[in-house]
Amino acid sequence: MNCFWCCNPEGISPKPALMYSVSKCILCGECAGKCEHHAINIEDGKLNISRSFCLSCEQQNCIDECYSGALRLSGYEISLPKLYGIIRRDRQYWGSEGGLTLTGGEPLLQLDFVKSLLQKCHEDYIHTAIETCGNIPWNNFQEVIPYLDWIFFDLKNSDSNLHLKATSADNKLILENAKRLSTEFPGRLIFRIPLIPGFNDSEENINSVISFLKDTGRKEINILPLHHLGREKYQMLQKSYTGGSHPVPVKESLETIRKMFNASGVDCYIGSETPF
Ligand code: SF4
Ligand code: SF4
């Protein structure tokens, strides 16, 4: 998916993303000279990157040549034993209430790795959770369900056409998976709404979510209010940020939505004010 408000745009592509910081760049041109695909040029005091070449670039020589640190790669490959070593090292720090949450991008796009990691954590009694957009084949859920304690699942818009426009995917598969998880996942399933004023904060959409929760027997919802903290990352990816044209939700409208859920018997948590 490709949601216009995403605050982790570097995670949308399954490949590591090249991040470029204008404020650190001294326009020395060293990177352009080392790029074997000739993907970088400097014109009128501005550095341009033809990013389609970067997707298949194995060497990323440009980064090694950048002494000012203006170029860096977001994302890297890591082996399961190495990652698990870090998790085990940090375990004491979490305390007894802590655990592992896989997020993204979409963690279940990397099914084999994620399954092995969750299985390992499960064997060692580490609490496990994922945050998912839900737009993945049911089989991917089925494979990891035995090793998961919690699932955070986004409900972005009940109107499939609006969903498609805003995220590049309709909501058919998402709702099917959500319903199935409601009956087949034995752990804690927490639905979430990333609340974007002007996109999904209408009374009609909130009422549709309430009906959905009633149908699936769920009694809690987590609202994640829009914020613009990811704006700078769009600049670093040289992408435009259309989420910026939507205001962040005001407290009064969040409280109105909370009351609507509460009135229908659903506990509504705003942002990080949650019991988990
Ligand atoms: S990632 Fe590769 S293709 Fe892209 S600018 Fe750097 S060296 Fe060139
Ligand atoms: S090497 Fe780094 S500092 Fe020099 S032009 Fe390239 S990005 Fe800018």
- In this structure, are strands 71-74 and 99-102 parallel, antiparallel, or unpaired? unpaired
- Would the CB of 26 count as within 6 Å of ligand 2? yes
Shared domain for 41 and 92, answered yes or no, is no
Last residue of a domain, one of 74, 97, 123: 74
% of residues, the chain, pLDDT over 90: 93
The closest of 73, 24, 23, 18 to 237, measured between CA atoms, is: 18
Distance in Å, CA 181 to ligand 1 centroid: 41
Q: Which residues contact 172 (CB under 8 A, 6 or more apart)?
A: 160
Q: Based on the structure, what is the number of domains in the chain? A: 2
**Residue 65 identity:** E
Radius of gyration, CA atoms only, the chain: 21
Query: Where in the sequence is the domain holding 38, given as residue range(s)?
Result: 17-74
Shared domain for 44 and 87, answered yes or no, is no
Q: Which of 6-15, 189-198, 256-265 has the lowest mean pLDDT?
A: 6-15
Residue 62 is assigned to a structural domain of this protein: yes
Q: Can you give 91-139 as a three-state secondary structure string?
A: HHHHCCCCEEEECCCCHHHCHHHHHHHHHHHHHCCCEEEEEECCCCCHH
The pLDDT of residue 56: 87
Q: Residue 271: pLDDT band by 50, 70, 90 thresholds?
A: very high
Residue 228 is assigned to a structural domain of this protein: yes
Total residues belonging to the chain:
276
Residue 246 is assigned to a structural domain of this protein: yes
Distance in Å, CA 12 to ligand 1 centroid: 19
Residue 207 is assigned to a structural domain of this protein: yes
Judge whether residue 15 has pLDDT over 90. Answer: no
User: DSSP letters along 37-102, please?
Assistant: T--EEEETTEEEE-HHHHTT-SS-HHHHH-TTS-EEEE-----HHHHHHHHHHHHHHH-TT-EEEE
Spell 54-64 as b/e; 16+ CB within 10 A means b. Answer: beebeebbbbe
Atom of ligand 2 nearest to the CA of 28: 4
Pocket residue to mutate for ligand 2, from 20, 21, 24, 26, most atoms within 8 A of Cβ = 26
Put residue 154 in one of left, alpha, beta given phi > 0 → left and psi -120 to 50 → alpha.
beta
- Would the CB of 53 count as within 6 Å of ligand 1? yes
Separation of alpha carbons 217 and 206, rounded Å: 16
Shared domain for 178 and 207, answered yes or no, is yes
Shared domain for 131 and 50, answered yes or no, is no
Q: Where are the alpha helices (DSSP H) in 124-202?
A: 138-144, 160-167, 172-184
**Residue 2 identity:** N
Q: Which of 215-224, 228-237, 251-260, 267-276 has the lowest mean pLDDT?
A: 267-276
Residue 2 is assigned to a structural domain of this protein: no
Mean local confidence (pLDDT), 79-96: 94
Shared domain for 109 and 68, answered yes or no, is no
Judge whether residue 55 has pLDDT over 90. Answer: no
Shared domain for 49 and 94, answered yes or no, is no
CATH of the domain at 61: 3.30.70.20
Atom of ligand 2 nearest to the CA of 68: 3
Residue of the nearest CA to atom 4 in ligand 1?
54
The pLDDT of residue 252: 97
Shared domain for 260 and 203, answered yes or no, is yes
Residue 4 is assigned to a structural domain of this protein: no
Q: Residue 91: pLDDT band by 50, 70, 90 thresholds?
A: very high
Mean local confidence (pLDDT), 124-129: 96
Torsion angles phi and psi, residue 197, rounded to 5: -55, 135
> Considering every ligand atom, which ligand is closest to the CA of 61?
1
Pocket residue to mutate for ligand 1, from 25, 47, 54, 73, most atoms within 8 A of Cβ = 54
Shared domain for 113 and 240, answered yes or no, is yes
- pTM as predicted: 0.92
- Would the CB of 27 count as within 6 Å of ligand 2? yes
Task: Give 261-269 contacts, CB < 8 A, sequence gap 24+.
Answer: 261/206, 261/210, 261/221, 264/210, 264/213, 264/214, 265/219, 266/210, 266/213, 266/218, 266/219, 266/220, 266/221, 267/219, 267/220, 267/221, 268/220, 268/221, 268/222, 268/223, 269/220, 269/221, 269/222, 269/223
Residue 275 is assigned to a structural domain of this protein: no
- Would the CB of 71 count as within 6 Å of ligand 2? yes
Distance in Å, CA 266 to ligand 2 centroid: 52
Shared domain for 28 and 149, answered yes or no, is no
Shared domain for 106 and 64, answered yes or no, is no
- Would the CB of 236 count as within 6 Å of ligand 1? no
Q: Residue 95: pLDDT band by 50, 70, 90 thresholds?
A: confident
- Would the CB of 62 count as within 6 Å of ligand 1? yes
The pLDDT of residue 168: 96
Atom of ligand 1 nearest to the CA of 51: 4
Residue 2 CB neighbour total at 10 angstroms: 11
Judge whether residue 183 has pLDDT over 90. Answer: yes
Residue of the nearest CA to atom 8 in ligand 2?
25
CATH of the domain at 175: 3.20.20.70
Shared domain for 102 and 226, answered yes or no, is yes
Mean local confidence (pLDDT), 212-228: 97
Shared domain for 153 and 33, answered yes or no, is no
> Considering every ligand atom, which ligand is closest to the CA of 15?
1
Q: Mean pLDDT over all residues of the chain?
A: 96
Residue 53 is assigned to a structural domain of this protein: yes
Pocket residue to mutate for ligand 2, from 21, 22, 62, 68, most atoms within 8 A of Cβ = 68
